[in-house]
Structure 1
Amino acid sequence: MQRKQQQKEVLSGPNIMATILQSIPKDANVTKIEYEGPRIALYTNTPRYLMENNEIISNLVNVIKKRIVVRTDESIRKSEEDARKILNQIVPKDAKLENTFFDTATGEVSLEAKRPWLLQRNAQEFNHAEVTEQIGWKLRIRKATTTPSSTIQTINYNLKISSAERGKQLRQIGDEIFRPRLAQKSEVSLLTLGGFGQVGRSCMLLSTTESKILIDCGINPGAATPAESFPRLDWANITLDELDAIVIGHAHLDHTGFLPALCKYGYKGPIYCTEPTLPMMNLIQLDAIKVAAAQGRTPMYGERDVKQIMRQAITIPYGTVTDISPDIKLVLANAGHILGSALCHFHIGNGDHNFVYSGDIKFAKSILFEAANWNFPRVETLLVESTYGAKEDIQPSRQEVESAFINAVNNTLADGGKVLIPIPAVGRAQEIMMVIDHYMKSGEMVEAPVFTEGMISEASAIHEAYPEYLARELKQKILETDDNPFDSEYFTNVEHADAREEPMREDSPCIILATSGMLEGGPVLEYFKNIAPDKKNKILFVSYQVNGTLGRRVLDGARQVSLLGKEGKVEVVNINCGMEKLDGFSGHSDYNQLMSFVQKMRPKLRRVLVNHGERRKSENLAMSIRRMFRVPAHYPQIQEAIKLF
C-alpha cells in the first residue's frame, strides 16, 4: 500500500528526482540528474558501475515509470581527438570501423562499422563498459553503409553545431512534460484537420485537459487550391506555442509535407518520430523544394526550415513507452508501410483512454518489412486508414504479383522496349529493386540494364543504415554478413541529367526506376516524355495514384497530356505506350487485410474511426466494421470535432 502511494506521488512530478537520489547507491557516483526531453538523464563519473549493474536502473524505472538514461559526466570525457585515437587502437580491425560521430549533447559516440556484429555488447573482444571507462563517452554501434548517406551526415553535422541549443531545449521540454498535472480528470477530443474522406494532407489534433498534440502534418499533392492542399490548422484555432508536441507516423509528404512550414512560422517544440523517419522525411522534404523550383513554383519553405526539424526531432525506437506531455504517453510500433513507419499508441491519463492511430499500414509481411503490429495491451479507440477500403480492393498474392511483374517486364524487353516504373524513392523502390535482382539472378527475368534516378540511391543507403527496422531475414543479412541486398551489379544510378542519354537511347531495352511515384515532378517526367509516345514501351505503376495527380490521369486512360517544359513552355505528350498497374506491391493493406487487422485487436474496441481514403472507401470500411464486428465505426470528414472520452 505504501509503495503504491509512493508511486502515485512520484508520478505527480517533482518527487521523481528525490526518489532517484534515494534509490541510487553512492558507488554510482551520480553527479547530476537532468531532464533530457522525455527522458531523465543520470550523469556519473563512474559509468562502468551502472552499466555492469543495470538492474539498478531497471528497478528504478519500474518504480517511477519514466525513461532513464545513463550519461557520462563531461569531466571524464576525453577530447574527441584523443577518444578517436583510443577507439582506432581498441576496435577490432575486422570490424572495419568507417566513421565516428561524437554527440556532445548526449555524450554518446556512434561507431559506424561495416561489420557491426563484432562490436555488440556481447562481443568477446569489445567490452562496452571498459571502453566507456577509457574514453568517457557511451557507445552506440551503427551499420556503416556501402554508399555513405549524405542525409545522415547532414543530420549529424546539424546536431553537432546545435548541441548547446539542443541541450537547453531538451531540458525545457522535460520541464513541460514532468510538471505536475493541473487537472486529474481526463477529457479527450480529436479535431480532424486533413486526410479524412481523402488521401492527402493527413493531420489531426489530439486534445486533453492538459495537452495539445498534433499528429502528422501533410500536404495534398493533387489539390488545386491552397485551401485543399494544406491542413486546416486555421480552423483548429490554436497558436503554435500551444502545441505540446508533434508526432509523425512516417516520412511521406502527405504526412510530413507541411511540417517545415510550421517550423518556419515559429513552432519550437518537440517532433517525435522513429529514428529512420528523420532522415527519410528530410530527404523527401528537400526534394520537394527542388521539384517546386524546377516547376517554376516558389517553395513554401526553405532548406533552413527542413534543417530546423533535425534540431527539434526526438527519435524513439519501436516499443518504448515515452512521456510526451504531463498526461500522455506514446508508444510507436511497426506499421509495415515504409522504413520506420509507425502505428502511434497514445495512453492518456492514468489509463483513462487509449487511442491508436494506424497511419498507413501493411498488415502482411513483405520482402522489406514485418507485418504491422496489432498487439496492444489496451485500445479503446482505433483510427484506421482506408486507402484500399472498398470491398473490391483485394490485392493479388505476393506470388501472383511477382509473376505478373516478371511477365510485364519480360514481354516489353523482348519487344525491344523500355519499362518505366514511376516510383516513390522510399520503400517501393527498394522492394522492386530486390525483386528485380532476385529474378534476374535466377534467370526468370530477361537481363537488361536497370537505371535508377532521383533519391533512390540515397534512400537505399538509409535503409541499410537502419537494419533493425527491416524484416527479420533482411536485418540478419545486413547485420551479420558482408552482403548488401540494395547494391546489385544490374543497377546503375543516374547521377546527373546529362547521364540520361544511355537509358533514353533508341533500341536500347532497359528498366528505369525514377521518382516521383505519381508523375508529379522529378526526373521521371523527362523519361515519361521520351517513353510515352512509343508503343513498344510500357509504364508500370506499382504504387497508389492520388486523385488529381498526373499519374492518376494517365492511369485512368488519358491519351494526351500537357507538361511544363524547359523555359516555361508547354509540351504536349502523346501516350501510345502500354500501361499496367500492379497492386500487390503496395505498402497499404487491402480490404481483407484491413478487416483482419481490426478483428485482431484485443480486448474488443469501443470505437473505430476511419480516415486516409476516398470518401466511398472510408464509408465502405466503416460500414463493414460495424456489420461484421458490432463495433461503432464512423468515417469523419475534415473539420469535425470528435469526443473520444
Structure 2
Amino acid sequence: MSNVDQQLEDTRETIVSEVPNDITITDVTYEGPELVIYTRDPKSFAENGDLVRRLASKLRKRITVRPDTDVLAPPREAREEVLSVIPEEATVTDLDFHEDTGEVVIEAEKPGMVIGRHGSTLREITQQVGWTPEVVRTPPIESSTVSNVRNFLKQEREDRRDILERVGRQIHREEMSDDEWVRITTLGCCREVGRAAFILSTPETRVLIDAGDKPGAEDEYPYLQVPEALGVGASSLDAVVLTHAHLDHSALIPLLFKYGYDGPIYTTEPTRDLMGLLTLDYLDVAAKEGRSPPYDSEMVREAIKHTIPIEYGDVTDISPDIKLTLHNAGHILGSAVSHFHIGDGLYNVAFSGDIHYDDTRLFNGAVNEFPRVETLVLESTYGGRNDYQTDQEDSEQRLKEIIRDTYEQGGSVLIPAFAVGRSQELMLVLEEAMREGDIPEMPVHLDGMMWEATAIHTTYPEYLRDDLRDRIFHDDENPFLADQFNHIDGGEEERQEVTDGEPAIVLSTSGMVTGGPIMSWLEHFGPDPDSTLTFVGYQAQGTLGRRIQNGWDEIPIGNNGRGRGNTLSLEMNVETVDGFSGHADRQGLENFVKTMNPRPEKVLCVHGDESSVQDLSSALYHEYNMRTFAPKNLETFRFV
C-alpha cells in the first residue's frame, strides 16, 4: 500500500469514528487540495450542519461531501424539489445534474439566495434530494468567455476529475528529503517591466509563479529554458501559481503544456476566465500580424482544464511542504497577493504580483496582513523617487476637463486602455460624470475585448469593491449597463461611422499602442487636430505608446506599428492623465510595506525599470532598516 493510500485509509477511520453511527462512509479520496467524502447518507450529513466543519478542523483539510450515486433521487424528480426549495427571487436560469459525482450545478442571477444564510438553503437541498449543490452566477451581461469556460469544463468533467485525483495524490505524497532550504530564482521582470516569472523551490517542491511576455521588446519571453525552470523538463514542476491575468504575467502559461507540463494552475476563478480571454486574443493578434504564436488554442484549453480556482483567504495545500493563500491585490479583477507557507513553520514568502494599495472605484485596496512573512517579492512599476501619481479625484477632474474641452471644439477623445481593469474604472468615472452633468452626454464606444471583459467583471461582483458589488446586485443600478456604452462589433465600417459622427469617447485596446484596434482608431482620428489622444495607463519602454508620449508625431502604421510601412502624421492633441493606473505609486508601495503586518525581513524589488527598482530598494532599506535587493534576471536567492 502506498503512503497516500495509507493516509486515506487512516483518514477514513478517523472520519468513521467522528460521524454518527447512522452515517455510512463508502469512500474517501483526494481531488486536488480537497478531501472528498462519499456517503450513502448525504441527507444525514446535511442535517448535521457542524459535522463537516468539525471534520475539516480536525483533519485540517478542505472537505467536500458527495453522495453515492445509487442513493440519489432521479434528476427529473430532483429538479422539481430543488426548485421548490430555492426562493423564486433567486431567478434560477439553469440546473445541471452530474450523476458521476452527485453534484447539481445551479446557475442563478442571485446566488446568495440559493446559498441561504450560512449555507442553510444548500443544506436543505441536500436534505430533500441527496444531491450536492454547487452554485454559479448568471452573468448580468452575457459573456461568451464565461459560457465557453463553463461548457468546456462540463464536457471535460471526467478528464478533469482524473487530473484532480492525480494532483491530490501528488500534494499528499510522502516527503522525500530531510533537507531544509528555500530558494527563489528570477526568470524575468527584474530591472524591467514585463515577462514576470519566478521559481520558488524547496528540496521537495518547485513552483512557477507567473509566466508572462514583454510587449514591444526583443527579449519577449522569460528565461523558462534554464535548468531551474523547464530545462530539466516541465514535468519537474509541482505547481504553477498565477497572480493575475494581464499578459505580462499570463501569456506563456499555456506554453507550459506544449512542453509537457501536466500539473495544476492555482489562481482565482475570474483570473482563470480572463486568462482564457486574453491568451486567445494574444494568439489572434499574432496571427493577424503574421507572427508565429508560441502555442495554439488547444494549449489554452489545457491550461483552463488544469486550473484549480482558489478563493481569497482559503489556505490550500499545493505540495507536501507548501500551503498557498491568495489575497486581494487591488490591481485587476481576481488579482492576488500570493502567500506561501513553507514547511512546518520553516519560512514564509509573499509575492505581491501587481498591487494597488488604496481603494479604487473598482476594488478594495491590496491586503497586506499575514500570519507570517519573512520575504516579500514586491512589484516596483512606479517605484522611482519621482513616481508619485496624481490624486485619483484630481485625475478624474483633469480627464473630465479634457473631455469637455475636446467636445466644445467638436472633437472626440480616444483613450488607449487595457481591456481588463482600467477600462472598467473609466466606465465608472464616465457613467457618473454624465449622470451628474459634469461632462456632456455622448456615446462611449468600447472596442477590442472591453465589453467581454466587462461582462466577466459583472459575473464576479464579489471580487469588486463592496459598494460597487451591491450596486451590481440590483439590475437597475448596474453602472456597466448605462445607455451611453456601445460595444463596437462592426469592424472598420462602424469605426468610420463613429469618426464621421458626433463627438464621442472611444476606449480601445491595446493599452500600450502595440497593435489591435487602437491602430485603426489612430488612422481615423490621428489627422484631426480637434480630437485628443489621452493616455491613462503605464506605457512601457519600447512601446509605441511611450514614443508618442515622448513626442513622436510621425508614427508607423504598417504592420501595426512594428515594422516598415506607411507613416501617419499625428495631428490630434496628446494628453497624459496620471492616477488611473492599477499599480500603486511610490507612496503606495512604501505604505504597503510600512503598514504590512508583520513587516518582512527582506524585500526583493522587481517588475520596474532599473532606476525604479533601485530607488525603491534603497528607500526601503534606509527608511525601514530591512534587507532589500534589486535583483537581475537569473539570480537565485537562498533564504534558509
How high is the TM-score relative to the length of structure 1? 0.93
Aligned-partner Cα distance in 2 for 1:521–1:376? 40
CA distance in 1, matches of 2:37, 2:602: 41
Q: Paired residue for 2:215?
A: 221
Aligned to 2:328: 334
Q: Which residue of 1 aligns with 2:115?
A: 120
Residue 69 of structure 1: CA displacement? 1.7
- CA separation in 2, counterparts of 1:247 and 1:157? 24
1:194 and 1:349 map into 2 onto residues whose CA distance is: 26
Aligned to 1:3: none
Whole-angstrom distance in 1 between the partners of 2:246 and 2:311: 19
Q: How many residues are treated as equivalent by the alignment?
A: 633
Cα offset, 1:73, TM superposition: 2.4
Letter in 2 for 1:61: A
Sequence identity, in percent? 38
Q: What aligned pairs does 1:495-510 form with structure 2 within 5 A after superposition?
A: 495-501=489-495, 503-506=497-500, 508-510=502-504
Name the structure 2 match of 1:301.
Answer: 295
Residue among 101, 104, 111 paired with 2:106: 111
Q: CA deviation at 1:530?
A: 1.1
Whether the 8 Å CA contact 1:562–1:570 is kept in 2: the answer is: yes
Partner of 2:21: 26
Deviations, residues 102-161 of structure 1 (Å, cap 9, x unaligned): 56675433322223343232299x832232244433223333223221111111121112
Q: CA contact under 8 A between 1:249 and 1:255: conserved in structure 2?
A: yes
Residue pair 1:13, 1:178 contacting (<8 A) in 2 also: no
Amino acid in structure 2 at the alignment position of 1:591? R
Counterpart mapping for 1:413-562 below 5 A: 413-479=407-473, 482-501=476-495, 503-506=497-500, 508-562=502-556
Deviation at 1:239, TM superposition (A): 1.1
In structure 1, the residue matched to 2:225 is: 233
Q: Aligned in 2, Cα 1:373/1:105: closer, same or farther, shift over 3 Å?
A: farther
Q: Which residue of structure 2 lines up, in the alignment, with residue 174 of structure 1?
A: 168
Q: Give the whole-Å Cα distance in 2 for the aligned partners of 1:288 and 1:239.
A: 25
Q: 1:592 maps to which residue?
A: 587
In 2, distance between residues paired with 1:494 and 1:291?
A: 17
Report if the CA contact (8 A) 2:496-2:524 is conserved: no
Equivalent residues of 1:417, 1:507 under 8 A apart: no
The 5 Å alignment of 1:86-101 reads: 86-88=81-83, 90-101=85-96
**Matches of 1:12 and 1:594, distance apart in 2:** 44
1:637 aligns with 2:632: yes
Matched AA of 1:615: E
Check 1:109–1:552 CA distance in 2 against 1; reply closer, same or farther (3 A cut). farther
Partners of 2:237 and 2:341 in 1: how far apart? Answer: 18
Q: Quote how far apart the aligned CAs of 1:476 are.
A: 1.8
Tell me the amino acid that sits aligned with residue 260 of structure 1: P
Distance in 2 (CA, whole Å) between partners of 1:554 and 1:106 is 56
CA RMSD of aligned residues (A): 2.3
Runs of 4+ aligned residues of structure 1 deviating over 6 Å after TM superposition are: 9-14
Q: 8 Å contact 2:223–2:634 — kept in the other structure? A: no
CA distance in 1, matches of 2:221, 2:33: 33
Distance 1:165 1:393 in 2: 48
Q: In structure 2, what is the equivalent of residue 369 of structure 1?
A: 363
Cα offset, 1:53, TM superposition: 2.4
Corresponding residue for 1:62?
A: 57
Cα 1:135–1:210, aligned 2, differ >3 Å: closer, same or farther?
same
1:5-61 deviations in Å (ceiling 9; x for gaps): xxxx99988744443333233333322111010110112232233233232222222
Aligned to 1:387: 381
Partners of 1:39 and 1:95 lie apart in 2 by 28
1:12 touches 1:179 (CA, 8 Å); kept in 2?
no
- Matches for 1:347-362 after TM superposition, within 5 Å: 347-362=341-356
Quote how far apart the aligned CAs of 1:600 are.
Answer: 1.2
- Shift, 1:591, TM fit: 0.4
Whether the 8 Å contact between 1:46 and 1:133 is mirrored in structure 2 is no
| In structure 2, distance between residues paired with 1:12 and 1:513 | 55
DSSP-derived class of the 1:59 partner: helix
Alignment of 1:140 with 2:161, yes or no, is: no
Please state whether the residue corresponding to 2:594 is helix, strand or coil.
helix
Unaligned residue ranges in structure 1 (runs of 5+): 1-8
The one-letter amino acid of 2:613's match is S
Please give the alpha-carbon distance, in whole angstroms, between the structure 2 residues aligned to 1:388 and 1:569: 32
| Comparing 352-361 and 52-61, the one that deviates more | 52-61
Compute the displacement of 1:309 (Å): 1.0
Closer/same/farther in 2, CA of residues 242 and 511 from structure 1, 3 Å limit: same
Q: Would the alpha carbon gap of residues 503 and 552 (structure 1) be closer, same or farther in structure 2, given more than 3 Å must change?
A: farther
Contact between 1:219 and 1:255, CA under 8 Å: does it hold in 2? yes
CA contact (8 A) 2:255 2:299 kept: yes
* Cα deviation code 1:480-522 (max 9, x no counterpart): 5653221111011111314524554336211001111111121
Structure 1 447/193 Cα, relative in aligned 2: closer, same or farther at 3 Å? same
